[in-house]
């Protein structure tokens, strides 16, 4: 991320067989009962006569000698055992479930599933078709949450094929290494909803994860880093890891059996600090950095000269021997060109090649690698920055800085994948619940992903076939553990699955209803699925100050997704399907604790119970999720106390360009005192050219102060207007020496009496270079 920064985020808020045209089915309005327990919805389905009951012992047969059908049958057996507890078995004759090879079915992923009184047939011409037929049947066989019971299926004929050929997820294994079992789980659960591309972001400034036999230091040294310090002694334990080629070959094979192509990414010429740490001679200026522990944009670039080119070709040779898919991703994002600008040998190269500038050199480099890959029968894809110096003819584009890159590239005849931030960036949180694990605060809900259409306006109709599909990206600066990665991926991956596979009209209510069943299947498979979209959210009506003044608080309850009936208790007991149904905001005297959850038609809670306390003290408390970044802040992060924290510990909200937060509408006629709980963090962000935008405040003491004021100092662009009175400082606390004090601290003070509600501002004046500070909580207090 760089000038246009993914991490800084000044933004708003084949695979030659792959084509966007695998339409084996008519596009005319098909009959697809929305009540079918299928996700994604199939292209076409029609009722048939009769029914079939499937139970433990039901037989499956595949054509003799057909290994692909046999593999799909095995995966069907596994899946149904996990999600329904039914043990199907393979038989050689008299099978209820039969796989049939039918070469008249066209489209690389198409299948037909027929259920009638004579049994169940899965027909396909390809391995993927068999597999998707099997996954559809597995979903029909787990229509509800019962386990072990037989299922009776009504007669139906399903003819299905995807809308788009690229239905992808990207997992960033560079920022935080994901253990291999975690990748296998992700493959399994992508396959369950017919996603078919797993893009692995294998290298970045913070780690090189792909074993290259010719360059062993890439992983011996480049796969590990030491975490940053929050002021005390720097940690010495290295963290990280890498995958051997054999491990990745096995993963590729496993994914391929499940219809999934793994697209490897080697990110260059930027995001190359781990590479330069391992082989300084492959950098530009000859210095040897450590593997970075700083997120964001770091300055280290690959040498674009003969040595760097040869290195990349050697890496590509080993990479394509492990990953057989058509596409290789070579990054190209966020390469600030300062080092190339400063290096005489690079300037000489630009001149010799007759290029205009450094961006053109990047294009030249990408084109050289694209041509190299073409000689090996492969294709290059890169982030949309590869458009900047003129798009090399050989390249396909993954559009992340909005959709314009995709529009331009597709109209110029290049294949594109839509992956725009912020919507398809899964490191963005999915709700503003206070218990979300860390991530970026540009919340992207399940509904936001579901509403995304991968065919952007502006692409000529004749060029629409260049849109291969869409991909959601799980960047892992803030996703440390497999739990956190899964929480970010699921269930939002289901929304992407539906929008990339299905042509059915969008119907969010129908989708969430079907999703509830998929969530149950994922949970049975041991996956951590976020319940954020189904969890009850509480909103105090009016200001909390008004509630305290009146001695009466009105609280509205809602859920993001319209599933089930919200039920609640006020007596501290857990709500059940028999608890009162929520109909209108609850009018309560302060002091109650509301416990609520939504319950589905079967009486099951759709999410964990969340509480809301209405005691006066609770109404006067604010947690990080309630605090607001001070004006002019476009990006804030929800961060753990240390960047590599493995536990789901407390999380804090931090804005990168100013450490200022507001307690909005503090009732200063009610409260007379405050206590703030403060946390100190490492400041580990490479901000490149945006470093200059970080606000440095004047400080009086060595380590800066925490300044508490009524109203925030507004950074005026023009003359201060009448609506922005100067802040009144209430208290100023010197911050202690970071090297000698714990990372958590508490400050208390008194507040002046004022009329009504006023914003209470908390500004740290510590050095911009770090460490960083954030509020863990603010508690206002009343006179005793």
Active site residues: 204, 271, 334
Q: Count Cβ atoms below 10 Å from residue 462 Cβ, excluding itself.
A: 9
Q: Can you give the three-state secondary structure of 492-560, one letter per residue?
A: HHHHHHHHHHCCCCCCHHHHHHHHHHHHHHHHHCCCCCCCHHHCCEEEECCCHHHHHHHCCEEEEEECC
161 versus 406: smaller Cβ distance to ligand ACM? 406
Long-range contacts of 106-109 (CB under 8 A, 24+ apart): 106/24, 107/22, 107/23, 107/24, 107/161, 108/17, 108/22, 108/165, 109/22, 109/161, 109/162, 109/165, 109/194, 109/196, 109/259
CB of 384 vs ligand ACM, minimal distance in Å: 8
Q: Establish if 1 lies at the interface with ligand ACM (CB under 6 A).
A: yes
Helical ranges in 141-267 per DSSP H: 180-192, 217-220, 245-257
64 C-beta neighbours (distance < 10 Å), count: 8
Least separation in angstroms between residue 530's CB and ligand ACM is 22
Minimal distance in Å, beta carbon 406 to ligand ACM?
A: 13
Q: Does 568 bind ligand ACM (CB under 6 A)?
A: no
Sheet containing 744-750: order of strands: 621-622, 772-781, 673-681, 744-750
C-beta nearest to ligand ACM: residue: 6
Nearer to ligand ACM (CB atom), residue 476 or residue 518: 476
- Contact assessment for residue 88 and residue 76, using Cβ atoms and an 8 Å cutoff: yes
Minimum distance, C-beta of residue 271 to ligand ACM, in the bound complex (Å):
8
Q: Given the complex with ligand ACM, which of 215 and 327 has the nearer CB atom?
A: 327
Minimum CB distance to ligand ACM smaller for 8 or for 223: 8
Token duo for residue 602: 């079967």
Judge whether 433 and 454 are in contact, CB under 8 Å: no
Strand pairing category for 59-61 and 586-588: unpaired
In the block, residue with structure tokens 């079992």: 181
- Residue 403 sits in the site that holds ligand ACM (CB under 6 A): no
Least distance to ligand ACM, CB of residue 428, Å: 12
400 touches ligand ACM by CB under 6 A: yes
Query: Which residues in the 190-209 window bind ligand ACM by CB under 6 A?
Result: none
Is the Cβ of residue 130 or residue 208 nearer to ligand ACM in the bound state? 208
Give the contact letters, 6-25, x = binds to ligand ACM (CB under 6 A), - = no. x-------------------
The answer to whether the Cα torsion of 665, 671, 672, 675 is positive or negative is negative
Residue whose C-alpha is closest to residue 678's, from 597, 725, 742: 742
Nearer of residues 6 and 98 to ligand ACM, judged by Cβ: 6
The reply on whether position 383 binds ligand ACM by CB under 6 A is: yes
Spatial distance between the Cα atoms of 241 and 239, rounded to a whole number of angstroms: 7
Nearer to ligand ACM, 5 or 291 (CB): 5
- Smallest gap, in angstroms, from Cβ of residue 330 to ligand ACM? 12
Which one, 10 or 217, has the nearer CB to ligand ACM? 10
Residue owning tokens 């539906």: 498
Ramachandran quadrant class, 3 (left: phi over 0; alpha: psi -120 to 50; beta: rest): alpha
# residues contacting ligand ACM (CB under 6 A): 6
Beta strands at 660-667 and 757-764: parallel, antiparallel or unpaired: antiparallel
Site string for ligand ACM, 714-743 (x = CB under 6 A): ------------------------------
Q: How far is CA 57 from CA 15, 85, 95, 143, 681, in A?
A: 39, 11, 10, 19, 57
Rounded least distance, CB 333 to ligand ACM, Å? 4
Q: Which of residues 281-340 bind ligand ACM (CB under 6 A)?
A: 333-334
Tell me how far, at minimum, the Cβ of 438 lies from ligand ACM, in Å.
17
Question: Which is nearer to ligand ACM, 11 or 279 (by Cβ)?
Answer: 11
Q: Minimum CB separation from ligand ACM for residue 383, in Å?
A: 4
Helix residue spans in 237-305 (DSSP H): 245-257, 273-278
Closest CA to 131 of 172, 208, 47, 188: 188
Please give the Cα distance from 340 to 357 (Å, whole number). 10
What tokens were used for 499? 């929008």
Binding of ligand ACM by 265 (CB under 6 A):
no
| Site of interaction with ligand ACM (CB under 6 A) | 1, 6, 333-334, 383, 400
């Amino acid at each position: 991320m760089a000038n246009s920064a993914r991490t800084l985020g000044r933004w708003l808020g084949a695979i030659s067989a792959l084509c966007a045209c695998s339409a084996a089915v008519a596009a005319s309005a098909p009959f697809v009962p929305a009540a079918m327990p299928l996700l994604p919805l199939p292209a076409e389905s029609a009722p048939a006569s009769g029914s079939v009951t499937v139970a433990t012992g039901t037989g499956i047969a595949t054509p003799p000698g057909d290994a692909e059908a046999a593999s799909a049958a095995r995966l069907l057996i596994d899946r149904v055992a996990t999600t329904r507890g039914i043990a199907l078995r393979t038989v050689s004759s008299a099978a209820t479930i039969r796989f049939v090879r039918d070469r008249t079915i066209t489209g690389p992923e198409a299948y037909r599933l027929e259920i009638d009184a004579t049994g169940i047939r899965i027909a396909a011409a390809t391995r993927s078709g068999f597999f998707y037929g099997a996954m559809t049947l597995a979903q029909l066989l787990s229509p509800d949450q019962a386990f072990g019971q037989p299922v009776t299926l009504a007669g139906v004929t399903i003819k299905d094929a995807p809308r788009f050929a690229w239905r992808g997820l990207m997992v960033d294994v560079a920022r935080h290494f994901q253990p291999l079992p975690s990748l296998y789980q992700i493959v399994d659960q992508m396959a369950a909803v017919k996603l078919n591309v797993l893009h692995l972001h294998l290298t970045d400034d913070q780690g090189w994860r792909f074993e290259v036999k010719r360059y062993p230091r890439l992983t011996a040294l480049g796969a590990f880093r030491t975490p940053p310090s929050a002021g005390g002694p720097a940690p010495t334990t290295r963290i990280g890891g890498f995958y051997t080629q054999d491990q990745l070959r096995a993963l590729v094979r496993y994914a391929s059996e499940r219809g999934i192509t793994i697209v490897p990414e080697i990110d260059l010429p930027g995001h190359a600090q781990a590479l330069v740490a391992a082989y300084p001679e492959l950098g530009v200026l000859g210095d040897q950095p450590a593997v970075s522990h700083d997120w964001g944009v770091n300055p280290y670039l690959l040498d674009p000269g003969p040595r760097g080119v040869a290195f990349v070709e050697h890496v590509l040779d080993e990479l394509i021997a492990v990953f057989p898919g058509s596409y290789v991703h070579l990054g190209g994002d966020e390469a600030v060109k300062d080092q190339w600008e400063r290096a005489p040998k690079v300037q000489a190269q630009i001149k010799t090649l007759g290029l205009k500038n450094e961006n053109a050199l990047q294009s030249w480099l990408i084109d050289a690698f694209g041509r190299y890959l073409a000689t090996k029968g492969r294709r290059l894809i890169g982030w949309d920055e590869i458009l900047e110096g003129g798009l090399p003819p050989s390249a396909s584009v993954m559009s992340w800085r909005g959709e314009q890159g995709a529009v331009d590239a597709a109209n110029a005849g290049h294949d594109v994948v839509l992956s725009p931030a912020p919507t398809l960036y899964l490191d963005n949180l999915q709700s503003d619940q206070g218990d979300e694990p860390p991530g970026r605060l540009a919340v992207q809900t399940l509904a936001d992903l579901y509403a995304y259409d991968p065919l952007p306006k502006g692409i000529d109709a004749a060029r629409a076939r260049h849109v291969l599909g869409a991909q959601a990206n799980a960047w892992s600066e803030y996703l440390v553990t497999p739990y956190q990665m899964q929480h970010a991926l699921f269930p939002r991956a289901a929304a992407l699955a539906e929008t990339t596979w299905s042509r059915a009209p969008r119907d969010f209510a129908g989708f969430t209803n079907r999703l509830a069943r998929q969530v149950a299947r994922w949970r049975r498979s041991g996956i951590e699925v976020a319940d954020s979209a189904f969890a009850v959210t509480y909103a105090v009506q009016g200001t909390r100050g008004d509630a305290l003044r009146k001695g009466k608080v009105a609280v509205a309850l809602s859920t993001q997704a319209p599933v089930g009936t919200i039920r609640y208790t006020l007596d501290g007991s857990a709500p059940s399907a028999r608890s009162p149904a929520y109909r209108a905001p609850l009018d309560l005297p302060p002091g109650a604790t509301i416990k609520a959850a939504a319950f589905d038609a079967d009486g099951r809670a759709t999410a964990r119970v969340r509480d809301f306390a209405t005691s006066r003290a609770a109404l006067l408390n604010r947690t990080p999720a309630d605090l607001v970044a001070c004006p002019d802040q476009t990006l804030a992060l929800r961060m753990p106390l240390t960047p590599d924290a493995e536990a789901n510990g407390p999380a804090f909200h931090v804005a990168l360009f100013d450490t200022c937060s507001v307690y909005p509408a503090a009732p200063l006629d009610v409260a007379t005192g405050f206590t703030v709980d403060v946390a100190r963090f490492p400041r580990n962000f490479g901000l490149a050219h945006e470093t200059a935008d970080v606000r440095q405040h004047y400080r009086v003491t060595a380590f800066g102060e925490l300044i508490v004021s009524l109203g925030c100092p507004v950074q005026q662009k023009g003359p201060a207007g009448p609506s922005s009175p100067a802040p009144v400082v209430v208290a100023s606390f010197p911050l202690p020496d970071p090297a000698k004090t714990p990372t958590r601290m508490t400050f208390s003070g008194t507040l002046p009496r004022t009329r009504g509600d006023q914003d209470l501002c908390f500004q740290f004046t510590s050095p911009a270079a770090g460490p960083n500070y954030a509020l863990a909580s603010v508690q206002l207090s009343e006179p005793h």
